[in-house]
Amino acid sequence: MKGTIVKGLLKTAWVLELVIALFILVVTVVQMVLTGKDSLDYLSLGQFSLNDFFANTMNIIVGLEFVKMLILHTPRAVSDVLLFAIARQLVVTHSSALDTLLGVAAVALIFIIKKFLLSREDSVPPREVLTKFAQEIAAHKEEESHHE
């Protein structure tokens, strides 16, 4: 009984994570389109701001990395989100020298962690995630073939 409840809760959490990831992906794609449109409009008016463009572009990249992290559940995906979030902060904000130094140190630390502490297995999603994903795709294809 307890195992069934736990499995049900885990499945519900997994589905909710996928829904959130899908929502973030849709919003990120919309932001990409809007950033492209706004950039072209501002260029034609002569009011283009490279700083605003970088801020929007880095937000899009962080959003995409966040979606990957929600789907993959790997330490490498988490470190990538942190890396891009810190890089975004360094590129977009004009902080004090100490803040910039701390940001660069944080980026260097993430690279050191990725180089020396993360293994190849940390880049691969857990086997059960891949198996479940493959099963869902096969079931979807089978369902489509029955409808035809």
pLDDT tens-digit map of 5-55:
988 899 899 999 999 999 999 999 999 999 999 999 999 999 999 888 999
pTM score of the predicted model: 0.74
* DSSP secondary structure letters along 3-30: HHHHHHHHHHHHHHHHHHHHHHHHHHHH
Question: Where residue 127 falls among pLDDT bands split at 50, 70, 90?
Answer: low
How far apart (Å, rounded) are the C-alpha atoms in residues 9 and 15? 10
> What mean pLDDT is reported for the chain?
87
Question: Where residue 106 falls among pLDDT bands split at 50, 70, 90?
Answer: very high
pLDDT at 148 over 60: no
Please give the tally of structural domains in the chain: 1
Question: Where residue 62 falls among pLDDT bands split at 50, 70, 90?
Answer: very high
φ/ψ (deg, to 5) at 121: -65, -25
Domain housing 139: 2-147
How far apart (Å, rounded) are the C-alpha atoms in residues 133 and 122? 18
| Whether 60 contacts 37, CB under 8 Å | no
